[in-house]
Amino acid sequence: MRYVEHDTVVRRMNGRMVVNTIFKSIFLLATLTALLALFVLMYQIVTQGISHLSFGFLTNFASRFPEQAGIKAALVGSIWLMAVVAPTSIILGVGSALYLEEYARQNRITTFIRMNISNLAGVPSVVFGLLGLTIFVRALALGNSILAAGFTMSLLILPVIIVASQEAIRSVPGELRDASYGMGATKWQTIVKIILPAAIPGILTGSILALSRAIGETAPLIVIGVPVIIQFLPAGVMDTFTALPMQIYDWSSRPQQEFQQVAAAGIIVLMVVLLLMNSVAVFIRNKFEKRY
Amino acid sequence: MSMTHVLDQKNKTAGYEAEGTAAAASRSVYETKQLNLWYGANHALKNIELDIKENEVTAIIGPSGCGKSTYLKTLNRMVELVPSVKTSGQILYRGRNIFDKDYGVEELRTRVGMVFQKPNPFPKSIYDNIAYGPRIHGIKNKKILDEIVEKSLRGAAIWDEVKDRLNENAYSVSGGQQQRICIARALAIEPDVILMDEPTSALDPISTLKIEELVQELKKDYSIIIVTHNMQQAARISDKTAFFLNGEVIEYDKTDTIFSNPSDKRTEDYISGRFG
């Protein structure tokens, strides 16, 4: 006797097709919900903020008069912050990932370290703020400077960069390592000439996404005591500063209706910066992507 | 060092020269003595004794998991990339124990090239693939590199096929051509021995034939040790054959003898296709 009766299969086909269609619709709906939320958010912010957006908004300092309020100090401050965070976190992050993937022995200690790096990525940012306040601001007496905030932000995004770099390094095929070692290359030569070039798209994409998170974080800056109203530009990493999310937070907490528009304009600037960073990530990924 | 080294070799291997017909063909490249290897608790190689001669093709055959690839990878210590590997015994390469503390793996692997099972060119241009070895060993002169690239590609019988596309990615050519590029890449460091780990198992019959012809050509200048699960291939191209089973060398002899008149019942069963 036959176990798969084709006539029966055909008779039951309709039910299967209905279930198939239902799930397709559910997934489409899920996607549309996310898109709709994004669209509403963008619409609200753009309609509120666009009237306040001008060249002057980028070149003015903060002011208690909404029509004169500008974002210059925060924008420049955020760029300074990134100038500290990017090299610190990428050098430390890629270095740790290379150590864990290429040098460290596989034993219980390294497994424990790996697991905890992933856990660190889930620690709330305000906790990192407290860490930065204790170590950088007070113990190392860096005050509420760009350097202190930059180091704190670096610690915050370090786990994300390490994990992304580990994934990228691990995805480099083992055969390439074998080929390099098989010709008498040292570990360092293999890393520089084979592993890093192949892993760089993944490393940079992960790093830029992590930096995008750092540029939008507010909580650690508040804990460290970064001021909001600043009427000068920082001249070095030891100066105090303010950053885009701090400035936006301050404007949106003011009672005057006009400042809500200023805050919206600030958000547009922040989103443009984020969009630029993400497009750099996409560009790098497409340009350097290797095929095997 | 080369002169004194060669003289040393002559003294050390003088004993073997007496039995061989051609003096050059009887010199040993590798003498394996009481080699044992463990992956953790798994005893993968047991008391291996093998004497591999210069300018010969030595084939290593045996069923999957018999330790033939492990043995090959021990000869250039690539096996140590696997964590938890332990070895005991000796492998003398040109008279010197490769497990000696002061024998650097980088030096050993410069003298002993390797071709892998799956073609594994770097995601770089064909030129950069071939120049990789010379470059890591410090050759920067563009003219010398050009010459090495041409000589190596000619040596691997692929120069005519790729000479107009040296700057193209090595992945743009066929699998069989990629494997010959990998052979050229191994030749570029001018090794003494070439280890081949089932180099044709991922290739079509025509590419396989080309590689086999190439091996015949290369044995004039190199000693070749090839692991293969294809017994016809071993019979076609090798001078000596070692039959491995469960981590032991069951029989090691002239290829003709192994295939026509094996002395061990298990060898006979394996080559006649009764198992494996």
List, for residues B17-56, the tens digit of each pLDDT value. Answer: 444 444 444 789 999 999 999 999 999 999 999 999 999 9
Write out the two tokens for B182: 């990998």
Alpha carbon of A135 to those of A150, A153, A192, A217, A239: distances in Å? 13, 13, 34, 19, 18
| Amino acid letter, B91 | I
Q: What is the pLDDT of residue A291?
A: 55
Q: What is the pLDDT of residue B18?
A: 41
Q: What is the pLDDT of residue B5?
A: 46
Q: What is the pLDDT of residue B11?
A: 44
pLDDT digits (tens, 9 = 90+) for A19-58: 999 999 999 999 999 999 999 999 999 998 888 888 888 8
Closest-CA distance, A291 to chain B, in angstroms, reads 7
Edge-to-edge strand order for the sheet containing B240-245?
B112-115, B193-197, B223-227, B57-61, B240-245, B248-254
Percent of chain A predicted with pLDDT > 70: 99
pLDDT digits (tens, 9 = 90+) for B152-172: 999 999 999 999 999 999 999
Interchain pair A178, B78: CB under 8 A: yes
Interchain pair B123, A179: CB under 8 A: no
Pairing of strands B85-93, B96-97: antiparallel
Task: Work out the pLDDT band at A290, boundaries 50, 70, 90.
Answer: low
DSSP secondary-structure letter at B103?
Answer: S
Neighbours of B141 (CB within 10 A): 10
Is the pLDDT at A180 greater than 70? The verdict is: yes
Specify the residue for token string 């291997």: B13
Q: What is the pLDDT of residue A254?
A: 87
pLDDT digits (tens, 9 = 90+) for A259-277: 888 999 999 999 999 999 8
List chain B residues with pLDDT less than 50.
1-25
User: Which residues of chain B does A184 touch, with a Cβ-Cβ cutoff of 8 Å?
Assistant: 105-110, 133, 136-137, 189
Is the pLDDT at A135 greater than 90? The verdict is: yes
* Closest partner CB to B136 (pick from A175, A176, A189): A189
Closest-CA distance, B27 to chain A, in angstroms, reads 24
Interface test with B, best of A175, A180, A183 (most B CBs within 10 A): A183
* Cβ-proximal residues to B140 (8 Å cutoff; 6+ apart), any chain: none
pTM of the model: 0.82
- Closest by CA to A244, choosing from A265, A215, A212, A214, is A215
* Cβ-proximal residues to A1 (8 Å cutoff; 6+ apart), any chain: none
Q: Is B199 helix (H, G, I), strand (E, B) or coil?
A: coil
Distance CA(A97)–CA(A114), nearest Å, equals: 10
- Closest by CA to A163, choosing from A94, A107, A217, is A94
User: Which residues of chain B does A173 touch, with a Cβ-Cβ cutoff of 8 Å?
Assistant: 120
Size of interface A-B (CB pairs under 8 A): 71
